Amino acid sequence: MNFFRVGKYFTLVDMPGYGYRSPKDFVDMVEAYLKERTNLKRTFLLVDSVVGIQKTDNIAIEMCEEFALPYVMVLTKIDKSSKGHLLKQVLQIQKFVNTQTQGCFPQLFPISAVTYSGIHLLRCFIANITGNLN
């Protein structure tokens, strides 16, 4: 896990990715961290918008739901799909969030690290939940 102090305001924790390249002790490490962090404000699950929610994403979602953690889905790589495919994925994931989750924030955050599309809104959301936005 990598810890990034954001000024004097909060710490962002970047956990290793899950899936076929995840560390062998991923579940134990992440589960222990998530259970023990009483000051945890939000968990952000990064979902590849090109392929949608995968089996490994479902495991992370189930973990957040089981621990009653407030979490958010960030849809990455929105620059990699056609607008039609992206819209289909967003609608499908939004339906999943609305019908299959309890702790997921209802707003999806589609972003692109290449074009920076959606980044400003996500930053504002983070500033708000950490108490750094009036």
pLDDT at 90: 96
Q: Per-residue pLDDT tens for 52-98?
A: 999 889 988 998 999 999 999 999 999 999 999 999 999 999 999 99
Q: Residue 101 falls within a domain, yes or no? A: yes
Q: Residue 59 falls within a domain, yes or no? A: yes
Percent of the chain scored above 90 by pLDDT? 58
What would the mean pLDDT of 19-37 be, rounded to a whole number?
74
Q: Per-residue pLDDT tens for 39-63?
A: 888 999 999 999 999 988 998 899 8
Find the CATH number of the domain harbouring 104.
Answer: 3.40.50.300
Which of helix, strand or coil describes residue 114? coil
Q: How many domains does the chain have?
A: 1
pLDDT at 1: 77
Q: Residue 6 falls within a domain, yes or no? A: no
Q: Residue 37 falls within a domain, yes or no? A: no
What would the mean pLDDT of 1-23 be, rounded to a whole number?
78
Which of helix, strand or coil describes residue 112? coil
Which of helix, strand or coil describes residue 12? strand
Q: Residue 92 falls within a domain, yes or no? A: yes
pLDDT at 42: 92
Q: Residue 84 falls within a domain, yes or no? A: yes
Q: Which domain holds residue 126?
A: 46-134
Q: Which of 92, 1, 21 is nearest to 52 (CA)?
A: 92
Q: Residue 71 falls within a domain, yes or no? A: yes
pLDDT at 133: 66
Q: Residue 31 falls within a domain, yes or no? A: no
pTM (2 d.p.) = 0.87
Question: DSSP secondary-structure letter at 130?
Answer: T
